[in-house]
Each structure stands twice: as structure tokens, then as C-alpha cells.
């Protein structure tokens, strides 16, 4: 069969890498792809990058029809919120990803928070504002600490943790008045700042059955010890020890299943990936946010551990036949360390040559997933903020961490940056 993967980041490279392992697949296309994806081999040859932006849903449709694609897998959130699934389905194509109406769960935080309140899904207390002056007045009334969130999509950067009133007022000004995140800042959600340990819980669902993936934990902040501004993610590991068997059951019964059922009751049948970003404390799990797609970088260690055929699961979701399916996992932990361009999540330089990727890939139980890379004059160069996701497994979390950083040390480019504490919470028993 022929598969099209939409997107060009580390998540999409991991999806292409895993999909290529399926005996059912002989051709893979990725749009727009990156420098690493074109090295993935299938029985029909190398994966092929298509120079079509992920947001060009009409261009993607034409490409899928011309190439007689059997299954399209959507990586990023933007095309989902633009209705790519609806468009492809209307044209007789099978596509893995939520509908436009279901993707509101990620596309607008105000919708997600209101849904959780309506259906008693555990989350932080909150208020929603479309006026900056009203938001500022509320902040002066309730004080800090609080979390200020842009309502719309902001590439994982529209959430600002505020420990004092000044930080909170500055956050509202930055989002609503300065429009740091564009139209995503038309409204803000101001909510209680939850304390505890974060975890990512990602599941497949066909609108009826919910099939969980293994647990994982992301590292959002740019600096060690979770300091500095949020990013799209600086590393991840799986499993997350904080998600015990008891906590996993609670997440399924209190969050995942009720959310899928709630979306159905709202007339927004949810098919695809449901990703809950959670805070876990002595009261149990509470939802920080929902995403309607695979996490990035959580997908890298998760798919590194998945032993089952991913394509069979994706097809079952699309066909509404997920009931009875199971996923087999490698018991060994996996760790992904993101290597980024200096300056990210702010301004950074592009076009810098990268060396050492082949040396890193030569190590046992290690794979370098590309994110912001491209080929220029025969050389692999940087082309984004998050550049590589260096992923490795080990017999335990410590061995996996050490293996990932051994690979990182073999890779170099001018002003490469990465956190040096990925997985430390798991080692200390806190994550």
C-alpha cells in the first residue's frame, strides 16, 4: 500500500520510520518532509519528500489522488484544524486524523476547558477573556501564581507560567495586545497553576474504543531544571514512572474515555489520536491541555518502543474497528534528546552544516530523527529551531539516558544546544 505522511518534523520522521517497518507498505511519501526522511527504506524504495506545505490541504489532496495513496497520516495540528480529514474523506480517501470539528479540542483551549467543566473531567479552575482590560482586572482580583494561555494554536509556546502578578499582566499584554502568537491571542484562558509531575498520555480512538499507548513525559522548558520559556519540547522518555498502573487506570476512566464520549455527545465524533497533557499530584491526574495528534517529541521514544504494526492500528481507527486490538511494547525504556539551534524558541540561524549523524546512528539501539533539517549542496544543514531528536533505548532508564547522550556527543554544528537533564526526573523517582 501507499502511505502519505503530512508534516516535516521529528514526529513525522518517526512515523515514516515506523510505518516503513510494516509489511503492508511499499511506498511512503512525506510532505514536506526533511533531510532524514528520504533515507528511510521500504520494499518499494526510499521514502519520497513532496515539496508541499502541511497547511496546503488542497495541494496535498491533489498529490494523494495523483499518487493513488491508500492511507494519509496527518502529523501536525494545523492541517487538522483546517479540515484536511473532512476534505480527504469527501474525496474518497482514507485519512488518519481528527475531523475539523473534533480538532477544536486542541485548536481552542476555551472550548476544551468548557467541555471539561461541562462533563466533570478533572482540570484546573479557569476563566476565559476576550478583553485584555477585563483579564487584567481579574488578575488584580485573584493574584498569582496563575497560567495564562493563548486560546488558539501557538506551536506549543502559547502557555505562560506566571509566579507573580507582574508576570501575569505582562503575559496578557504580550498575548492579547502585542499579539505575540497572532490570532491565537484573540482570547486568553487564565487558570490555576497546578503543581506536581507532568506526564503525557496518548491513546488511539475510533470514537468508541480507546486504546492507550505507553506513558511518556515531555520536557517543555528550554533550560535545564524546567527553567525558561516553553518550547515545542526539548526531550521525552517512555515510560513515565509517575504513571503507575493505578494512575493509568484513573486517566483512562476519568479523562480519556469520558472525553471521547463527551465529544460524541457534542456531535463531534473523535477519531484519531487523543493526547492528554496531565499534571499528577496526590489528588490524581488533572488535564493541562489536550492535543489532537501525536506528541513531538513523545512520538519518538514511543514508536521506538512499539513492537506492533503501527499501520494495522491506524487502519483500525480509520475503519472504526479498534475493538479487540492490542499493542505490544518493548519493555526497555527509550529516551529522546532534542538538539536545537541556539536562540530557539526565539530567533536562530539556519543553514548551518551538521556533522556526526551517521556516527550516532551507528551506535546500538540508537536512531537520530530529523526535525528542522534540509539538504543544501549535498550537505545536511539546519532548517529549524528543533533540529534533531536523538533517541535510544536501554535495559533501564539510566542506560537509555546514557545511550542517548553518547549519541548526542557525536553530533556537532556551530551553536548546537540541548538540555542536559532529560530523563533525570525518572532517575530520581519523581517522573
Q: Distance between CA 277 and CA 151 in Å, rounded?
A: 16
CA 412/CA 310 separation, integer angstroms: 32
User: Taking a C-beta distance cutoff of 8 angstroms, is the pair 75, 98 a contact?
Assistant: no
- Spatial contact of 144 and 112, defined as CB atoms under 8 Å apart: no
Q: Is 126 helix (H, G, I), strand (E, B) or coil?
A: strand
pLDDT band, residue 155 (cuts 50/70/90): confident
C-alpha span between 64 and 98 (Å, rounded):
18
Helices 257-265 & 109-118, crossing angle to 10 degrees? 100
- Asked whether the beta carbons of 52 and 32 are under 8 A apart, the reply is yes
- Take residue 310 and report the three cell numbers written for it: 503501527
| Residue 156 pLDDT exceeds 80 | no
CATH class for the domain made up of 125-192 = alpha beta
- pLDDT, one tens digit per residue, over 75-120 is 999 999 999 999 999 999 999 999 999 999 999 999 999 999 999 9
| Predicted pLDDT of residue 409 | 98
Q: Hey, which CATH number is domain 2-99, 3.40.50.720, 3.40.50.20, 3.40.47.10, 1.25.10.10?
A: 3.40.50.20
Instruction: Please choose, from the candidates 317, 335, 305, the residue with its C-alpha nearest in 3D space to the C-alpha of residue 399.
Output: 335
Helix, strand or coil, per DSSP, at residue 193: coil
- Can you tell me which residue has the cell 537520530? 368
CB 270 within 8 A of CB 193: no
Region of 179 on the Ramachandran plot (φ > 0 left; ψ -120 to 50 alpha; else beta): left
Q: How confident is the model over 269-285, as pLDDT tens digits?
A: 999 999 999 999 999 99
How many helices, marked H, and strands, marked E, lie in the chain?
15, 25
Is there a contact between 404 and 335 (Cβ–Cβ < 8 Å)? yes
CATH class for the domain made up of 334-428: alpha beta
Residue 353 is given by DSSP the state B
* Rg (alpha carbons) of the chain, rounded to whole number: 21
Distance CA 262, CA 76 (A): 23
pTM score, whole prediction: 0.94
Residue 430 — pLDDT band, cuts 50, 70, 90?
A: low
Neighbours of 285 (CB within 10 A): 24
Ordered by start, the domain boundaries in the chain are 2-99, 125-192, 197-318, 334-428
pLDDT, residue 99, reads 98
Q: What is the pLDDT of residues 206-236, one digit of tens each?
A: 999 999 999 999 999 999 999 998 899 999 9
N residues, the chain = 431
Category of 58 on φ-ψ map: left (φ > 0), alpha (ψ -120 to 50) or beta = alpha
Tell me the C-alpha distance between 265 and 284, whole Å.
26
Burial of 225 (0-12, 13-18, 19+ CB in 10 A): exposed
What band does 188 get if pLDDT is binned at 50, 70 and 90? very high
CATH code assigned to 197-318: 3.30.470.20
Q: Is the peptide bond before 197 cis (omega within 30 degrees of 0)?
A: no
Using CA atoms, how far apart are residues 236 and 232, in angstroms rounded to an integer? Answer: 11
Share of the chain above pLDDT 70, in %: 99
Q: What is the mean pLDDT of residues 289-302?
A: 96
Question: What is the Cα–Cα distance from 166 to 235, expressed in whole angstroms?
Answer: 30
- Cα–Cα distance for residue pair 28/16, rounded to 1 Å: 7
Amino acid at each position: 500500500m501507499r502511505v502519505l505522511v503530512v508534516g516535516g518534523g521529528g514526529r513525522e520522521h518517526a512515523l515514516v520510520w515506523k510505518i516503513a517497518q510494516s509489511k503492508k507498505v511499499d511506498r511512503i511519501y512525506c510532505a514536506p518532509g526533511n533531510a532524514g526522511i528520504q533515507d528511510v527504506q521500504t520494499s518499494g524504495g526510499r521514502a519520497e519528500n513532496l515539496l508541499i506545505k502541511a497547511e496546503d490541504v488542497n495541494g496535498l489532496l491533489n498529490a494523494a489522488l495523483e499518487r493513488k495513496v491508500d492511507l494519509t497520516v496527518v502529523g501536525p495540528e494545523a492541517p487538522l484544524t483546517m479540515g484536511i480529514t473532512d476534505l480527504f474523506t469527501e474525496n474518497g480517501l482514507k485519512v488518519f486524523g481528527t475531523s475539523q470539528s473534533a480538532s477544536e479540542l486542541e485548536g481552542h483551549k476555551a472550548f476544551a476547558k468548557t467541555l471539561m467543566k461541562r462533563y466533570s473531567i478533572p482540570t484546573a479552575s479557569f476563566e476565559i477573556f476576550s478583553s485584555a482590560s477585563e483579564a487584567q482586572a481579574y488578575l488584580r482580583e485573584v493574584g498569582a501564581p496563575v497560567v495564562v494561555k493563548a486560546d488558539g494554536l501557538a506551536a506549543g509556546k502559547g502557555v505562560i507560567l506566571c509566579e507573580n502578578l507582574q508576570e501575569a499582566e505582562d503575559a496578557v499584554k504580550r498575548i492579547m495586545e502585542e499579539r505575540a502568537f497572532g490570532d491565537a491571542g484573540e482570547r486568553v484562558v487564565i487558570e490555576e497553576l497546578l503543581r506536581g509531575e507532568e506526564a503525557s498520555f496518548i491513546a488511539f480512538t475510533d470514537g468508541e474504543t480507546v486504546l492507550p499507548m505507553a506513558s511518556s513525559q515531555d520536557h517543555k522548558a528550554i533550560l535545564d531544571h524546567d527553567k525558561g520559556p516553553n518550547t515545542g519540547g526539548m526531550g521525552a522518555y517512555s515510560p513515565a514512572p509517575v504513571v503507575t498502573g493505578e494512575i493509568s487506570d484513573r486517566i483512562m476512566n476519568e479523562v480519556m474515555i469520558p472525553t471521547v464520549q463527551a465529544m460524541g455527545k457534542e456531535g463531534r465524533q473523535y477519531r484519531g489520536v487523543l493526547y492528554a497533557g496531565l499534571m499528577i499530584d496526590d489528588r490524581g491526574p488533572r488535564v493541562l491541555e489536550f492535543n489532537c495528534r501525536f506528541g513531538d517529541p513523545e512520538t519518538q521514544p514511543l514508536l521506538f518502543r512499539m513492537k506492533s504494526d503501527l499501520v494495522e492500528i491506524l487502519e483500525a481507527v480509520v475503519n472504526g474497528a479498534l475493538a479487540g486490538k492490542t499493542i505490544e511494547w518493548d519493555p526497555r525504556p527509550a529516551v529522546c534528546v532534542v538538539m536545537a539551534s541556539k536562540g530557539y524558541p526565539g530567533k536562530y540561524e539556519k543553514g548551518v552544516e551538521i556533522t556526526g549523524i551517521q556516527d550516532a546512528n551507528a551506535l546500538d539501539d540508537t536512531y537520530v530523527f530529523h526535525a528542522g533539517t534540509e539538504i543544501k549542496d549535498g550537505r545536511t544543514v539546519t532548517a529549524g529551531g528543533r533540529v534533531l531528536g536523538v533517541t535510544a533505548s536501554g535495559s533501564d532508564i539510566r542506560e537509555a539516558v546514557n545511550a542517548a547522550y553518547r549519541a548526542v556527543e557525536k553530533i556537532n554544528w556551530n551553536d548546537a544546544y540541548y538540555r542536559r537533564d532529560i530523563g533525570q526526573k525518572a532517575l530520581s523517582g519523581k517522573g
